[in-house]
């Protein structure tokens, strides 16, 4: 098994097929993930259909997996939206001797298929739109009103669906007049010596220094979350730095453009590593980005050692605050009352990082707040839900989450994933908050 894209074996179709067969034989015998998501339900149904044919023909000893067609495998690859929930659920992931990693196996299959057969014009256009968030962000930041109008205009959305296959019903993120980067460059930074909220009132030292990987969504679509997090950090005596950076590479990964992913990964490593070498944690503000930096960079980076050093320093924003709280390096106080109940959606890409439920734990520190946690996929999953052929399926995936939110109404909804916010609004009509927004309010900090 290899997921190193620089290894020639990664691109060997025969090796991929052998690995696919091996993995499916284990999965077929286990079926712990049956019903977890459409790809597993689909492939198990196809295996059962072949098994029924063999039984009817009196060939009960033959392995139905060996009778699957290429189209069966391709369908599973296309259906996978890389939530990765099967990974923490699977009992056979590394270091188990079976070494199963179904999500990465499907990423590999998609990369090989794309390299060998290419894509249709519609698919290429869609990849250009959804796979380059930095370019889209520059356009959105320049003309946010026009971009937001186009996202809601019936004619433009009909044309977008016809040309690029982006479903006309899909709610798209809104662009803001001022990006997080612009705010950062133009702000008057408060001196760290004026920080409050330290463990001791007389302690005026800088508690820590961190580098922010602010992410596309925070920069272009929800900059206030980044602003609030910076103010929280400085309130606690933590100095924030903002390295030069670009998209983490996850959108490009979704288009199976491995060469582009490698270039993005290598550039980000070169930019972020100097901050790691100074002992700083890299705080990635979105779950998909923290997962990409923390779990995937080694497979795509040219310099594996550099990638591993960066990966070891990546943290989620709430995870970082909770670590300092547990180490008694900061004193968290919440003088302002907030909602008594909060429905908290745990993003899939946080769950797969195996860091516990740090955002829930942070919100539970607020006096009087009861947090109801929902561990169901929203169904948004990057650009997958925007594709015409998967939009309705994506809403079906999110139904369990939507029902759980409706059950807890009128409790406010929180999720670390800004893309999940979009799907939650589509499925329930509720506007979701980031946990940082709730913590910020409870800390009594002023609006920026």
Query: Does residue 95 lie in a domain region?
Result: yes
Residues 134 and 67 in one domain: no
Residues 128 and 86 in one domain: no
Q: Which of 101, 134, 164 is the last residue of a domain?
A: 164
pLDDT in tens, the chain (448 residues): 789 999 999 999 999 999 999 999 999 999 999 989 989 999 999 999 999 999 999 998 999 999 999 999 999 999 899 999 999 999 999 999 999 999 999 999 999 999 999 999 999 999 888 888 888 888 888 899 999 999 999 999 999 999 999 999 999 999 998 899 999 998 855 444 334 333 443 345 789 999 999 999 999 999 999 999 999 999 999 999 999 999 999 999 999 999 999 999 999 999 999 999 999 999 999 999 999 999 999 999 999 999 999 999 999 999 999 999 999 999 999 999 998 999 999 999 999 999 999 999 999 999 999 999 999 999 998 899 999 999 999 999 999 999 999 999 999 999 999 999 999 999 999 999 999 999 999 999 976 4
Where residue 85 falls (left for φ over 0; alpha for ψ -120 to 50; beta otherwise) is alpha
Query: Does residue 174 lie in a domain region?
Result: no
Query: Does residue 175 lie in a domain region?
Result: no
Residues 74 and 31 in one domain: yes
Residues 187 and 301 in one domain: yes
Q: How many domains does the chain have?
A: 4
Q: How far apart are CA 315 and CA 280, in angstroms?
A: 11
Residues 422 and 341 in one domain: yes
Q: What is the pLDDT of residue 203?
A: 46
For position 416, which CATH number holds?
Answer: 3.40.50
pLDDT in tens, 17-61: 999 999 999 999 999 999 899 899 999 999 999 999 999 999 989
Could you give the count of Cα atoms lying within 13 Å of 264 in the half-sphere of its Cβ? 23
Query: Does residue 170 lie in a domain region?
Result: no
Q: Which of 291, 325, 359 is the last residue of a domain?
A: 325
Residues 56 and 100 in one domain: yes
Residues 19 and 105 in one domain: yes
The secondary structure of residue 143, as a DSSP letter, is: S
Chain-centroid distance of CA 234 in Å reads 26
Query: Does residue 373 lie in a domain region?
Result: yes
Residues 192 and 320 in one domain: yes
Query: Does residue 1 lie in a domain region?
Result: no
Chain-centroid distance of CA 50 in Å reads 35
Three-state DSSP state, 328:
coil
Residues 186 and 307 in one domain: yes
- Distance (Å) of CA 222 to CA 85, 191, 200, 216, 283: 26, 25, 33, 9, 16
Give the chain's radius of gyration (CA, Å): 23
Q: Which residues contact 116 (CB under 8 A, 6 or more apart)?
A: 13
Residues 110 and 125 in one domain: no
Q: How far apart are CA 436 and CA 416, in angstroms?
A: 8
The secondary structure of residue 432, as a DSSP letter, is: P
Closest CA relative to residue 321, chosen from 377, 270, 365: 365
Q: Which residues contact 16 (CB under 8 A, 6 or more apart)?
A: 108, 109, 112
Residues 409 and 308 in one domain: no
Query: Does residue 195 lie in a domain region?
Result: yes
Q: How far apart are CA 10 and CA 80, in angstroms?
A: 19
Query: Does residue 260 lie in a domain region?
Result: yes
Please state whether the predicted TM-score (pTM) of the whole model is above 0.85: yes
Residues 365 and 391 in one domain: yes
Range(s) of the domain holding residue 146 = 121-164
């Amino acid at each position: 098994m290899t997921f190193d894209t620089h290894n020639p074996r990664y691109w060997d179709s025969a090796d991929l097929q052998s690995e696919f067969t091996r993995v499916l034989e284990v999965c077929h015998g286990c079926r712990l993930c049956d019903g977890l998501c459409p790809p597993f339900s689909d492939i198990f149904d196809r295996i059962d259909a072949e098994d029924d044919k063999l039984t009817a023909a009196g060939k009960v000893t033959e392995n139905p997996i060996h009778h699957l067609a290429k189209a069966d495998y391709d369908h599973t690859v296309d259906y996978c939206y890389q939530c990765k929930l099967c990974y923490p659920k699977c009992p056979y992931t590394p270091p188990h001797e079976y070494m199963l990693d179904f999500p990465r196996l499907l990423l590999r299959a998609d990369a090989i298929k794309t390299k060998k057969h290419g894509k249709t014009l519609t698919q290429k256009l869609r990849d250009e739109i959804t796979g380059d968030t930095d370019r889209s962000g520059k356009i959105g930041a320049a003309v946010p009103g026009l971009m937001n109008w186009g996202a809601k205009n019936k004619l433009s959305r009909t044309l977008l669906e016809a040309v690029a296959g982006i479903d006309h019903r899909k709610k798209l993120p809104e662009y803001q007049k001022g990006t997080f980067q612009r705010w950062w460059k133009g702000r008057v930074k408060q001196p760290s010596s004026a920080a409050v909220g330290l463990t001791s009132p007389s302690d005026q030292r800088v508690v820590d220094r961190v580098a922010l990987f602010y992410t596309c969504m925070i920069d272009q679509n929800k900059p206030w979350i980044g602003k609030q997090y910076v103010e929280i950090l400085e309130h606690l005596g933590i100095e924030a730095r903002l390295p030069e950076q670009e998209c983490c590479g996850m959108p490009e990964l979704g288009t199976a453009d491995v060469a582009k992913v490698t270039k993005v990964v290598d550039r980000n490593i070169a930019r972020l590593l100097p901050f790691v070498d100074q002992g700083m944690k890299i705080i990635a503000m979105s779950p998909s980005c923290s997962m990409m930096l923390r779990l995937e960079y080694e497979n795509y980076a040219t310099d594996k050692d550099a990638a591993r050093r960066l990966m070891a320093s990546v943290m989620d924003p709430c995870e970082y605050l909770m670590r300092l709280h547990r180490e008694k390096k900061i004193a968290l106080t919440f003088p302002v009352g907030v909602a008594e109940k909060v429905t908290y959606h745990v993003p899939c890409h946080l769950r797969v990082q195996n860091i516990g439920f740090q955002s829930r734990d942070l919100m539970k520190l607020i006096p009087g707040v009861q947090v109801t946690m929902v561990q169901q996929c929203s169904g948004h999953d990057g650009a997958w839900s925007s594709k015409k052929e998967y939009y309705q399926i994506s809403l079906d995936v999110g139904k369990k989450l939507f029902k759980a939110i409706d059950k807890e109404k009128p409790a406010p909804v929180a999720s670390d994933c800004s893309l999940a916010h979009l799907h939650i609004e589509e499925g329930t009509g509720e506007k979701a908050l980031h946990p940082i927004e709730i913590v910020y309010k409870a800390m009594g900090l002023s609006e920026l």
